[in-house]
Amino acid sequence: MRAIAEKKGVSVAQIALAWLLHQDVATSVIIGAKRADQLDDNVAATRVKLSEEELAVLDDASRLAAEYPGGMLARQGDRRREPLPDSSRG
């Protein structure tokens, strides 16, 4: 996030909030500003536009590992997806 923030000349908090605002599944974003300057900084995130490339970088950085049992099922199912040997050649 820091590299994208520096490139755009905005705060890391603005990048984090802007990323959230770009998510289709987010209906609202809760901020935690304690001071007026923090509130101003957070609200400024609504003006930050992220490119598809920047969104992809942030998506990759924030992707969580598969949780149990999903990750386990995917790993165990790999062998089941391999084609069966041709038994007709006896």
Give domain status of residue 35, yes or no: yes
Task: Give the domain range for residue 7.
Answer: 2-83
Give domain status of residue 15, yes or no: yes
Give domain status of residue 88, yes or no: no
Tally of structural domains, the chain? 1
| pLDDT by position in tens, the chain (length 90) | 999 999 999 999 999 999 999 999 888 899 989 999 999 999 999 999 999 999 999 999 998 877 777 777 777 766 666 676 776 665
Question: According to the model, what pLDDT value does residue 55 have?
Answer: 97
> In the structure encoding, which two tokens stand for residue 17, read together?
């909030």
Q: Which residues contact 61 (CB under 8 A, 6 or more apart)?
A: 1
Give domain status of residue 45, yes or no: yes
Question: According to the model, what pLDDT value does residue 81 have?
Answer: 66
